[in-house]
Amino acid sequence: MPSFAQSNEDTLSKSEISQITSTMKDLADRAKTLKGDRLAIVQLEIYNMNDRLRQELSNAMDRTDHDSKFLTEQIQLQTKYYDFYLKYVEKKLDSLQDDIEQSSKEDRLLKQIPLNEMRVVQAVLYSEQYQNYAWLETLGVNVDQKLKPFKVRLNQLAHYTSAALNYALTHRKQLQSQLDGLPAGQAEQINLELSYLSRDINTYSKALSNLVDTADNLGINTVELRHELFVATGDITHDLLSWAVLKSTFVSWANQFTDWMLSNSPSIIFNVFMFVLIMAIAKIIAQFIHRILNKAVKAPHLKLSNLMQQFIISMSVKLIFCVGLLIALAQIGLDLTPVIAGLGVAGIIIGFALQDTLSNFASGMMLLIYRPFDEGDWINAAGVEGTVSNVSLVNTTIRTFDNEVLLVPNSKIWMEVIINRTYEKVRRVDMVFGISYSDSIPQAEKIFEEILAADERVLKTPAPMIKLDKLNDSSVDFIVRPWVRTDDYMDVMRDCTREVKMRFDAEGINIPFPQRDVHLHINNPEALATVKHTTSENNNRDA
């Protein structure tokens, strides 16, 4: 048996529901005599009060001790009210649609707002009317006769909304494809049409979402409807994850892809063929240019270094490939204007970010143009000495004589003194030899002449130079300067030095070393004796 508190609460709920119903009836009677804004205000008030009424009805339905007879009467009134309002909304939608079709394009955007709002309201009304029928079934009322036409109307409205949404999506896609390349005046009109379509798509999506939820409760198949909703909004809900909806979505995508392939495969195959053909022609031309340049750059009158020859051939071949690639990409429909513009902007940004690298690049170009050295040359530059292995536009590879590989930035080499020891084909070997003051000068000169004459690597022209150069503190110095091929420079210098030492030793000529005579003047005999005694002890210890 219900408690007094529950009974009192049920009485208050019934009183609240009766009061709201009475107020709504009075407002509806007033609305019959009103027009314009005042009618809209009263209708909005009725709509808000109806929301309060439905909340009270929902609360009453949740109670176990509700008054079934009272609630049945109230909910039946709700069904009649919703039947009337659904018919009113349908007529209002037709009126608004006719008004928009007769309006100018500039006025359509403003008039479209109440039309879209009314479409969403219509979907909400269907959802709430279904709730009314569900409440009546809970109260034991047979509503099958009313549900059948309601279900038919709901199904028709849902499919109409889906078709309208699909039309709006297709129309928007067509307009967007026409937008590129149009004059400003025509593009403005299309943009205005696109704004209409965006509002329609948003409205139809919201309405279809409400209608689909209601249709699911009535047992209507909503797979295609949910697929269309997903295409329009891209929202992934739990309903989309059902196998039927997923299957429909995949089948639709597969059909679209098949249709696209059937309609575009001839042009795709032709574009791919043209791309391959253009790149093949570019490769043939590059090979032909490579052979021509390979012979041209080696012409004696050009006097190009190996580095410059390789640079010219490599850059020419790469340039031909780049031009061929751009032509091939243009053939398949790629717009190269934004690509080239983007490369220009990127070049400026990269230029600021890679100032040091660009400095090395510029220095590399200067090295290739002025040719201070070539591959295989023995150079001394940037504090590094060795043989040049490779020169790129950024750095120079130098291999030292102890087989270390050094990568030196080109800017460091270009900004400092470059000594190329193998630039000339012939070099002079500068050697200095000293004899003692007691040795014969002519004999020494004869030895030098014989050694140089016996060495086949020493050139006859220019003739070697053998001259007495200096009278030093401990020696008489001769300069010996034979001319040799650059490749023989180090070997001749080392072999000649060895031979001079051996001949001097064999013929008794001394190669002096620095020495100095020290004279001591001591007046004290005792100190002299001490010095002699100390010297004698040191000599004995050394012995």
pLDDT in tens, 423-461: 888 999 999 999 999 999 999 999 999 999 999 999 999
pLDDT the model gives residue 488: 92
pLDDT the model gives residue 6: 47
pLDDT the model gives residue 502: 95
Share of the chain above pLDDT 70, in %: 77
Report phi then psi at 384, rounded to 5.
Answer: -125, 140
pLDDT the model gives residue 529: 59
Contact 373, 308 (CB under 8 A): no
- Say whether the peptide bond before residue 462 is cis (omega within 30 degrees of 0): yes
Q: Which residues sit opposite 432 in a β-bridge?
A: 479
Q: Which residues of the chain have pLDDT under 50?
A: 1-8, 235-241, 243-245, 540-543
Contact 425, 390 (CB under 8 A): no
Distance CA 531, CA 358 (A): 74
Residue of 75, 122, 74 lying closest to 96 (CA atoms): 122
Distance CA 61, CA 53 (A): 12
* Residues near 79 by beta carbon (within 8 Å), at least 6 away in sequence: 129, 132, 133, 136, 146
What is the sign of the dihedral through the CA atoms of 525, 527, 533 and 535?
Answer: negative
Q: Which residues sit opposite 434 in a β-bridge?
A: 477
Distance CA 123, CA 428 (A): 104
pLDDT tens column, 18-72: 888 888 778 777 777 777 778 778 777 877 888 888 888 888 888 777 778 888 8
318-342 per-residue burial string, b: 16 or more CB within 10 A, e: under 16: eebeeebeebbeebeeeeeeeeeee
Distance CA 211, CA 216 (A): 9
Distance CA 16, CA 496 (A): 127
What is the sign of the dihedral through the CA atoms of 103, 106, 111 and 112?
Answer: positive
What is the phi-psi region of residue 508: left when phi exceeds 0, alpha when psi lies from -120 to 50, beta otherwise? left
**Do β-strands 431-435 and 395-399 pair in parallel, antiparallel, or remain unpaired?**
unpaired
What is the sign of the dihedral through the CA atoms of 148, 150, 153 and 158?
Answer: negative
**Do β-strands 426-428 and 418-420 pair in parallel, antiparallel, or remain unpaired?**
unpaired
Report phi then psi at 377, rounded to 5.
Answer: -75, 150
Report phi then psi at 361, rounded to 5.
Answer: -65, -45
Residue of 493, 505, 437, 427 lying closest to 462 (CA atoms): 427
pLDDT the model gives residue 308: 67
Question: What are the structure tokens assigned to 340, written together?
Answer: 């080239």
Distance CA 245, CA 455 (A): 98
Alpha helices in 237-335 (DSSP H): 243-296, 306-331
The DSSP code sequence of 446-478 is HHHHHHHHH-TTB-SSSPPEEEEEEE-SS-EEE
